[in-house]
Each structure stands twice: as C-alpha cells, then as structure tokens.
Structure 1
Amino acid sequence: MRTFLFLALTTAATAQVGPNYERPATASPPKFKGVTWRAANPSSHLPKGEWWKVFRDPKLNELETTATLNNQQLKAAIARFDQARATARISRGDFFPTLGSTLTAEQQRTSGNMPSAFPLHGLRYDGEALNALADFSWELDLWGKIRRSVESDRATAAGAADAVHNVLLGIQAEVASNYFQLRALDAEMRVVRQAVSWRGEALKIATARVKAGAGSELEQAQSETEVASAEAEISSLQAKRDQLENVLAILIGANAASFKLPVNGSDLRSPPSLPAGVPTDLLERRPDISQAERQLAAATAKIGVAKAMFFPSLKLSGNGGFQSGDIDILFEPTSLLWSLGPKLTIPIFSGNKNRFNLSRSKSIHDEALAGYRQAFLAAVADVETSLSQIRNYATQAGSQQRARTSAEKASSLAHTRYEAGTSPYLDVIEANRTALTIQRSSIQIAGQRNISTVNLIKAIGGGWDQAEPVTVPEVVPDPAARADLDKPGFFSRLFGRKS
C-alpha cells in the first residue's frame, strides 16, 4: 500500500492533461493610416491612471475623481471581481484535505431479522447510540484536474480585474465626452445670447427708423423675428445642457435633482497633442483585450479539466472516533473505531457525458478565441477611427476659422452699408445668420476635437499599462452593502451583549 501511495503522489505532482495556454498570434498593424508613429514608452505621454489631466481642466479633474469614487457601475464591477477572486481561492482549497467531525446522539432499535453472517435468533439492540467521529478526505490531483481548475479560476479572476479597468476607462471617457459637449453648449449659448443682444439693438434701431419715417414696418417685423428665433434657440440649447448635466450626475453617482454644474462661457481650449507609441504596445494596454485574453486562458484550462474526467480519480479517505451505547464508556479504548484507505473511482460508462463535456469545453475555447481576435480587430478600428476624426476635425477647424473671420467681416460691412442706406436690411439678416451659424459650427468642432482626443485615449487604453500590477480602484463604500456586519450576532443577541 505504501508503494501504491508513493506512486500516486508522484503521479499527482507531475501529470497534467489538457493543453497549456499559449497566447494566440494577432496581425498587429505596422502603422495606422495617415499617421507616422514614433517609438515611445506606452505610458510616458499620459499621467498614470489620470489621463484626463492632459486637458488641464480643474472641473474635469474634480468630476473624474468623483466618478471613480462613487459610480455605481464601477462598484458593481468591483463586486464581480471580488466574486471571481473568492472563487479562485475556493478552487485552491481543493488542493488540501478536508477534515470534519460528527457528533450524534440517537435512540435506535435494530432489526432482529437483519441479514447477518451468523444467526441472530431475534437478538436486537434497543437503546442509545452515541458517536464521536472524525472524517478525513483528500483527493489526489493525479491528472491535473484541480490544477487546471485553479488555473482557469485565476485567469477568470484576472479577467474580472481587467473588466473593472474596462468599466472604469469607459466611465472616465464618458465623463470627459459629456463634459466637453456641455462646455461646447455653454459657449454656443454665450454666442447666441450675444446675437440676441445685438439683434435687440437692431430691433431698437429699426423701430426708431419706422417712427422717424425712414424705415419700413417690414424691417421692424424682420428684426422681431430674428430676436425671437435666437431666444428660442437658447431654450433648445438649455434643454440639451440639462440633459447632459443629468447624465453627468449619474456618472459621478450624484442625485440629478441636486447636481448642478456652473455655466462656463469661455472658449474651449485646443485639445492636447498626444505623441503615440508603437501600435502593438498601445493596443496591448487596452483592458478589454487583456480581459478577452484572460477569458481565453480560462477556457483553455477548462479543456484540461474536461479531459481529466476521462481518467481514474484517487481519493484518500478515512474516519475514526468513538462509538458506544453508553456515554460513560464512550471515550474508553474499547469504544474506538477507525478506517483508512484509498478510494479509486474509474469512469466506465456515463452516457457519453464526459465526451460531450469535452466537446463543450472546446467550443467555449473556440468562442473565447474568436472573442479575443474580435477585440483586437475592434481595437485597431477604434484607433483608426479616432485618428481619422482628430485629423479631419483639425483640418475642418482651420477652414472654419477662415470662414468665421470672413463671415464676421461680412456682417460688419452689411451693418455699415445698411446704416448708410446703401443696402437693404435683408443683407444684414443674411450676413448675421451666416456669421452666427459659422460661429456655432466653430464651437461645435472645438468640442468634437476634444471628444475625439478622449476617444483616442480610450482606444489606446488610457493610462492603464499591462506591465504594471493590476490594482482595483478605491471606491466610497455603500453603507447598505455591509449593513449586516453591524448587526449583533446570534450569541450577542442571546446573551444581551453587543458584538
């Protein structure tokens, strides 16, 4: 028996069925379209974990910090990570033996006609049966089933940590995008209010001209129309701003009824210039790609678990303790009993369950592999799209600035010619409308340039670096989530003491 156990332990330490995980090759682009890349440290151009600080906006910094602490989606993702980590630790416990104790006190009666190797002649036992037993069980990992299971659960836990960072990056990017949209609306409303102001002045002039007999009522009606339409546009922009403000409230975990973001009518800053690194290095920093890879590693290990089900399993089991019908002699040496020995289970027939389980595991692996490749392709497309937006918005902003300059000049000339009586008021209206439209378009493009920069940062994984240890961000705990820990326990309630 000693030789058998030695061989079993040796096998358990070395044998392991199933494929070992190898990272699949991906077709990394040598460069992106229309961009000349230069080599750089993947995290050198962004503050670690706080990429939004490149925009140098104190209010944005405040919102991002609050969202990281209070966002409910992030808290849920962290809770899922805690679940996965606990599952991995539970799996690790399968390496160790289990030991338990059973204490029973029963009143029993045996049958006088029970099957027996010798005649009972109606003898039976009628009385107490007391047991104080200890049970021992230890499954030897002969074929690596437990090791593969632990490997799978650890990869799943690592993927859950990546999912936390993916949710965090998405929340941070949403906060920044909605913030820049809201700031663009503030700048637009400032321009439209200015338009209402000078259109109101034009209305006063037109009214005075009518009273003096130098103007027509048509000019006055046209001026009133321009003022009213601009005022209506302010209300429309305010409704959009209120909606974005409510979205930001949700993102930072605040009550929308009490959250208020002060109006900032200043012009949007030009987006920061982001030097980029080698495409492959950048894409590897994305948490969704890392999560997909960890899911693939977990699925690969599960194949080993399924294959191990085809092989025999060996479990060392035993029990021992004291058994008696009288408590006075329960712990005497004569009441001692024990048993110890190996238990070998050989799968012979299971209705093809093991074969179909292996087939399912392989299909799950294939699905995870396709998901990993899809994540990589989506990452490349996201970077390409963001780079294209940044490039085209920059070109559009230059053209729009030239158009804005000429439109403002045309508006000024139209006013001068109208006041001199050489041009009709319709020319003033058209020039003002064109200037306002181009001014608003310039502001919208400025906002989109900042949003495109946010999208690029998100596409390359933000400030997250796969080479650094994966850490879960600290969040503000929800008192209700741990309320049960503050309640007095059973014994505290029983004896009137606080825990």
Structure 2
Amino acid sequence: MRTLALSFAALLLSGCATGPLQQAQVETPAAFTGVDNGATLSAPVSSPAIGVGAWWLVFRDDVLNDLMARASESNHDIRIAAGRLEQSRALMGSARSGLWPQLGASYAASHGAEVGQSKPATGHAIGAELSYEVDLFGRLRAASQAAEFDAVASENLLRDTQLLIQSRVAETYFTLRALDEDQAIVADTLTAYRGTLSVTERRFEAGDVAELDVARLQAEVAATEAQAAALDQRRAQVAHALAVLLGEPASTFDVAAASWADQGWAGSVPVIPAGIPGEVLKRRPDVLAAEAALYGAQRRVGIAKAAWLPALSLTADGGYASGDLGNLFEDAAKNWSLTGILSQAIFDGGRRQAGVDYAKGGLDVAFATYQQTALVAFADVEDQLTDLIWLRQQEAAQDRAVTAATRALAMSQSRYTNGSASQLEVLDAQRQLLAIRRQSLAVRSAQYQATVGLIRAIGGGWG
C-alpha cells in the first residue's frame, strides 16, 4: 500500500511557474479481492494477451469484428471526442506560439491636409514590427505545458469514449444473441404446446378428454405466443440501439438471427486476467485523462502566481515613410525604433489574487477528481470479478436444474401416456422447464456481459 498526498503549499509558494510537478498518486491496493482463488490471475489458452484496441478478438466472432469496425468509423460520440481532441491540439499550438517572437508587416496610405497647408498631400508608409515577451518567470512555458496536458487529457478521453462504445457494442451484440436463443427456446416450447393442443382437441372431439384439458392448453399456447411477441419486440429495440452505436439508421439496420450454440465463443466464457491495481491505473484512459488534467491544473496555479511578477516585453519597429511613393525606399525615408517595457503589477483591486484563488480551487477539484476516478476504476474491476465468481456458481446450479427439469418432463409425459398422471402435471413440467432454460440462458448471457465489463474496467487490454 502506498499513499501520497499532493503538496499544495510547496507548489503555491514557488515563485517559478514551471516548478516541478507533484506526482499524482492514490492509495493503491496490492491486489484485487474479487479474484476467485487466482483463477483470473493467469490467462488460459483461450485468452491470449490482447493489446489495447483489439480486445474483442478474444471472442473469435466475425460478425462482432465487423460491428466494431463500423462503430469505430461512424459512431458520433467518437467523432465528437475526436473533434474535441483537435480543438485541444489547436489550443496547444496557440499556447506554444507565445514562446516565439511575433513578426508583422504593414502598409499605410493617407491623404489630407494639415493646418496651414494650401492643398492636401498623400503620405505612404511601410514597416515591420518584431515583438517578443521575455519569459522571465516561466509563465509562457507553463501556459504551453498546461495546454499540452489538456491535449493529453483529450486524447485519453477519446480513447475512453472509444472503449466505452466498443464495450457497449459488444454488450448489445451479446444481448441480441441471447434474445435469438431465447426466441428459439420459446418457439420450441410453443411448437410442443401446439402439437399437444392439436392431439388434445382430436381426443376431445372423440370424447376421450374433458373440455377443461383443451382450455388449459389453449391458455398455455396463447400465453407462450405473447412471450414470443414480447421477445420479438425486445429484439427489435436492441437492434435499434445497436444501429445507433454504429451510427447507422435503425430503419435499415439488422443483424441476422443465429443460434447461440453455433457461436465460436459459446463453448466457454473467456477468462480475462485482471492483473494488479497499479497496472489498471496505467491502462485506464479515464484515469490517465484525470491525471493529465491534474498536472494542467498545477501549471495553471503557477501561471496565476506569475501574474504578480514583472513582465518584460521587447518591440522593434522599422520601415519607410514618404510623401512620394517613388521615393519610399530611399535612405531618407527610413525609420526605426527599439522599445523595452518592464511592467509590474502594484494594485488591481484583487483581480490577480482572485485568479490565484480560482486556480487553487481548480487544482483541488482536479486532485479530488483524480482520486475519485481511481477509486471508481478499482471498484469497476472488483464488481466485474465478483459478478463472474457468482455467475459461475449460478451457471453450475442452472445446469443441474435444466437436467432435472428435463428428466421431470420426460417422466410426466410417460406417466400421462400411461394414464397415471393428468395433463396438468405435464403442463406444469413443461412450464417449469421453459422457465429454467430461460434462466440458464440469462446467466450465460450475464457472464459475457460481465466479461466485457471486466475488459473495459481494466482498460481494454491485458498481458
């Protein structure tokens, strides 16, 4: 465990705006407590080391790969973050320009008459001005560095947005595939119900069963049809959400249905190595963005302090001025000047001190934001690890439940055929199996959701 608090006093008492930065650190646990007996500390063969930016390849799904490529190209949140990065880099270039001399040229023509002149005259002047502010106490350099940190923060916010969109695409895709399987489960059950209803209706017509048996089956068929319609509605909504993530119109977008069992990733959930908390801080783009913002805030405190210190500006002017354009560049028309201005603030009604106080407040905010972002990062990883542990236990229990319910249905059908059980018993067994199969699917889907969540929580890469 290591703890370091920012030394604000040392920073604020420093007279130089480019003094050493106080390193951004936070209390870091030695290991994640949610690791299940070390199961996630080493990646199995199914989860090779994946660099940041291509983590979804671990699922070996061509459809998912295509969706990721389309989202990276057209998602509007990513485009917005990229535009903000361009703005930050432009501001960085503007701040750096203050470290260099500024050169300008001018031409002026005037026509008029002075008092006592009989007729107006025309004058021409051409000149150049070179100005330079001497960075006596590092204020301009600090402004350039602060802009650089802003650009770094924007770059990491772009990476965070990309990771967020990628994880949402994967989560939505797995939700879609789970809905495909859920539809298939309900359709299988509905087919069985309809077959049983057809047989029962014929037996009722022959007088072998009561009308109550027919009514029960009709109710079960209708209820299952309602479930199927609800799944169709839900799948359409999820497909529309996926279209938005890809930056495509929902009206023309769809992903063909596919069986869960046919997917290359369906055999086992990839095991992702969580690593150690310190490595997560180095990979998470939101933490890196908060760190860069913290360093920029430190520099701005120095800039605000430097506003109290003397400023030295140098200006050199030179050119030609003449009443005759043809003689403009003659020696007699030359003029030049060199000016140096040393200025010192004495009283400003509290404006500069207010600037210092504002910068200090910004530093406090940036430091607290960094600490909060780091804590959230650790909690994200712990949440997903914990979810995966309990979901594995639920999966094992659900598998046993599906096996038992399938056996119970087979025995109920056998008893009904032999006349030792009622149709109601068979319906109860079918209803129970349907519910348990859907619950088992929900657990498996949640495992993939939690795996994607873990990948995002550790920064989108491992190994």
- TM-score (normalizing by structure 2): 0.91
**SS at 1:317 equivalent:** strand
Q: Deviations over 1:369-407 (max 9, x none)?
A: 000000001001111111111111110011011011101
**SS at 2:215 equivalent:** helix
**SS at 1:257 equivalent:** helix
Q: Is the 8 A contact 1:285 1:461 kept in 2?
A: yes
Residues of 2 paired with 1:442 and 1:136: CA distance? Answer: 76
Q: Residues 415-494 of structure 1 correspond to what in structure 2 (within 5 A)?
A: 415-463=413-461
| Partner amino acid, structure 2, of 1:216 | A
Residues of 2 paired with 1:103 and 1:319: CA distance? Answer: 13
Please name the residue that 1:11 is paired with: none
Please name the residue that 2:229 is paired with: 235
Q: Select between 340-349 and 440-449 the one with higher mean Cα deviation.
A: 340-349
Q: Does 1:134 align with 2:128?
A: yes
Please name the residue that 1:220 is paired with: 214
Structure 2 residue corresponding to 1:109, chosen from 92, 109, 113: 113
Structure 1 residues 142, 464: closer, same or farther in 2, change over 3 A?
farther
Residues of 2 paired with 1:89 and 1:464: CA distance? Answer: 34
Residues of 2 paired with 1:168 and 1:260: CA distance? Answer: 22
Q: Does 1:71 align with 2:75?
A: yes
Q: Residues 273-292 of structure 1 correspond to what in structure 2 (within 5 A)?
A: 273-292=271-290
Q: Does 1:87 align with 2:91?
A: yes
- TM-score (normalizing by structure 1): 0.85
Q: Is the 8 A contact 2:178 2:441 kept in 1?
A: yes
Q: Deviations over 1:282-314 (max 9, x none)?
A: 232100000000000111111111111101111
The total of aligned residue pairs comes to 440
Q: Does 1:394 align with 2:388?
A: no
Residues of 1 paired with 2:205 and 2:125: CA distance? Answer: 113
| Partner amino acid, structure 2, of 1:29 | P
Q: Is the 8 A contact 2:385 2:454 kept in 1?
A: yes
Residues of 2 paired with 1:16 and 1:109: CA distance? Answer: 53
Per-residue deviation at 1:244? 0.7
| Partner amino acid, structure 2, of 1:171 | I
Please name the residue that 1:255 is paired with: 249
Structure 1 residues 20, 108: closer, same or farther in 2, change over 3 A?
farther
Q: Is the 8 A contact 2:384 2:454 kept in 1?
A: yes
Please name the residue that 2:151 is paired with: 157
| Partner amino acid, structure 1, of 2:26 | T
Please name the residue that 1:193 is paired with: 187
Please name the residue that 2:12 is paired with: none
Residues of 2 paired with 1:44 and 1:201: CA distance? Answer: 48
Q: Deviations over 1:75-127 (max 9, x none)?
A: 111111111111111111111111111101111333x4xxxxxxxxx579942
> 5+ residue gaps in structure 1?
1-14, 113-121, 466-499
Q: Which runs of 4+ in 1 moved over 6 A?
A: 38-41
**SS at 1:107 equivalent:** strand
Residues of 2 paired with 1:315 and 1:82: CA distance? Answer: 31
Q: Is the 8 A contact 1:19 1:303 kept in 2?
A: no
Q: Residues 267-278 of structure 1 correspond to what in structure 2 (within 5 A)?
A: 267=261, 268-278=266-276
| Partner amino acid, structure 2, of 1:230 | T
Residues of 1 paired with 2:20 and 2:48: CA distance? Answer: 34
Q: Does 1:46 align with 2:40?
A: no
Q: Deviations over 1:418-440 (max 9, x none)?
A: 12111111111111111000000
Per-residue deviation at 1:217? 0.5
**SS at 1:95 equivalent:** coil
Q: Does 1:382 align with 2:386?
A: no
Q: Is the 8 A contact 2:18 2:141 kept in 1?
A: no
Residues of 2 paired with 1:178 and 1:269: CA distance? Answer: 19
Structure 2 residue corresponding to 1:334, chosen from 332, 335, 347: 332
| Partner amino acid, structure 1, of 2:354 | F
Q: Does 1:173 align with 2:177?
A: no
Per-residue deviation at 1:30? 1.3
Q: Does 1:210 align with 2:230?
A: no
Q: Deviations over 1:465-489 (max 9, x none)?
A: 9xxxxxxxxxxxxxxxxxxxxxxxx
Residues of 1 paired with 2:270 and 2:289: CA distance? Answer: 29
Per-residue deviation at 1:269? 4.0
Residues of 1 paired with 2:307 and 2:323: CA distance? Answer: 43
Q: Select between 176-185 and 342-351 the one with higher mean Cα deviation.
A: 342-351
Residues of 2 paired with 1:358 and 1:458: CA distance? Answer: 38
Per-residue deviation at 1:276? 2.9
Q: Is the 8 A contact 1:21 1:300 kept in 2?
A: yes
Q: Is the 8 A contact 2:274 2:462 kept in 1?
A: no
Percent of matched pairs sharing the same residue: 34
Q: Is the 8 A contact 1:16 1:142 kept in 2?
A: no
Structure 1 residues 26, 338: closer, same or farther in 2, change over 3 A?
same
Q: Select between 156-165 and 70-79 the one with higher mean Cα deviation.
A: 70-79
Per-residue deviation at 1:146? 0.6
Q: Deviations over 1:322-373 (max 9, x none)?
A: 1112212221111111101211111122111111101100100110000000
Q: Is the 8 A contact 1:81 1:161 kept in 2?
A: yes
